[in-house]
Amino acid sequence: MTSNPAPRRRAAIAGLALLATALVPLTGAAAPAAAAPALQEVMFVGNNWDGTVDVIHSSGTYAKLGRVNVVPDKTQRLLEIYLNPVKLAFYLGVQQGPGEGHDQLVDDMYTTPDGSALVVSRPSFADVVSIDLRTGALRWRFPVSGYRADHMAVSPDGTQVAVSASTSNTVHVLDINTGRQLGSFGAGDKPHENIYTGGGRYLWNMSIGEVNTSLDDPWLDWTKGDRHITVADTRTFQVVRTIDMRPRLDAFGRSDLSNAVRPAVFTPDEKTLYFQVSFFNGFVEYDVAGDRITRVKELPKNPATSPDRTTWVNDSRHHGLSMSPDGAKLCVAGTMDDYATVVDRATLQEGALVPASKPYWATVSGDGRDCVISESGADQVTAISFATGQKVTSVPVGDHPQRVRIGHVAAGWTAP
């Protein structure tokens, strides 16, 4: 006679159910999802010749929080370069050209959305790397095509980072967390600035042409190469528009100005673009929908600045442009003229000329009150009030600061 196992199975199942219920608090199966780590907003300052990034408060006192070494693999990279004659030739070219006799070890930088890593473009090493902000170690490395990496941009949602590969006339778009290439597109000669628009739908790239020669007389402008704006769709990475400012500047009556678009900034509604061009002490206003130049602003010349254009760094007389969050004021870095100034956007009237030593970039503070410029000639960053046009404070940083970007780190972060 066989026994019926059904009651035993039902009892076992009931017992397991009770055990599972009792274990829920221990396993955390029913516990709420862990909260994301708290972040603090900071400002990153890339010290190009140092290979370091200073982390400072994003507003207020701009006090320093720490410093990150972004070339922990320097020995390995240099060994690779010195064992490859072609790489060595380009490395030395970058050093003696745009580097002014120095290695260019950090150009641009952005943090990952969770604030755990800093993604950096390194011109002399022709790559983009992700640096763990807790340990200082490399997370990933992406060698760009060609032999030099330049300006970057991060998508509005923080998931993509675009980088200009100067010598291959290419823009790479990477997953910011993994370094995997999502797509790429061709640009003009020497792609430079990148800007996302349309909520991240489009990516604008500005090419500046050949800036490392001494063929700087206006009649030799034809030697500078193909300079235009390239607009790509970030879903397909297809080029949807190209804009050459040459005929537009000519139509406005400024055939004397270069069409090499340098730093640029959109109004909050993205209807108007302001940009600097090579060799010019001022900026240009461009109506995006109307596809035309609407105003050109010439800013004061410093009488002490040499008129010899070959002495201006990489063809840039003024290099650095930002806009107040309300779109009412522009901040201009007058690089070779050793000043910065806040300009009223309605009238284009400049304010006080704030003395600065070779200011190379301009950005906006975290609270939107100040313009922050990098003084590459004085190894400091300086905040200037949008409201008053006057200097607020200066903070010492590393050797030859250039790009300045807002980002995030973990609350209570300390440098690795």
Q: What is the CATH number of the domain that holds 349?
A: 2.130.10.10
- Residue 73 domain boundaries: 36-410
pLDDT tens per residue across span 285-314: 999 999 999 999 999 999 999 999 999 988
Q: Within a domain: residue 13? A: no
Please give the pLDDT value at position 33. Answer: 56
Q: Does residue 335 fall inside a structural domain?
A: yes
**Whole-angstrom Cα distance, residue 37 to residue 368?**
25
In a domain, 221, yes or no: yes
pLDDT, residue 32, reads 52
Decide if 231 contacts 202 (C-beta within 8 A): yes
The per-residue pLDDT for range 129-175, each reduced to its tens digit, is 999 999 999 999 999 999 999 999 999 999 999 999 999 999 999 99
DSSP 328: S
- Is residue 154 exposed (0-12), middle (13-18) or buried (19+ Cβ within 10 Å)? buried
Helix (H) or strand (E) holding 117: strand 117-122
Q: Does residue 5 sit within a domain?
A: no
What residues contact 252, with CB distance under 8 A and at least 6 apart? 292, 293, 296
Region 55-82: what's the mean pLDDT?
Answer: 97
pTM above 0.85, yes or no: yes
Tell me, what's the pLDDT at 17?
Answer: 39
CB 121 within 8 A of CB 138: no
Average pLDDT rounded to a whole number, residues 23-52 = 73
**Position 275 in a domain:** yes
Domain count within the chain: 1
Kindly state the tokens that stand for 240: 């949807």
Q: What is the 3-state secondary structure (H, E, C) of 35-83?
A: CCCCEEEEEEEEECCCCEEEEEECCCCCCEEEEEECCCCHHHHHHHHHC
Identify whether 20 is part of a domain.
no
Those residues whose C-beta lies under 8 Å from the C-beta of residue 275, and which sit 6 or more positions away, are 206, 261, 262, 263, 264, 265, 283, 284, 286, 321
**Residue written as tokens 């709420």?**
32
Angle value at C-alpha 137, between 136 and 140, nearest 5 degrees: 130
Other Cβ atoms within 10 Å of 223 Cβ, number: 12
Q: Residue 249 falls within a domain, yes or no?
A: yes
327: in domain: yes
The mean pLDDT value for 268-284 works out to 98
Q: Average of pLDDT values for 58-67?
A: 97
Contacts (Cβ under 8 Å, ≥6 apart) of 168: 144, 145, 146, 147
d(CA 75, CA 258): 40
Q: Which residue has the higher pLDDT, 105 or 35?
A: 105
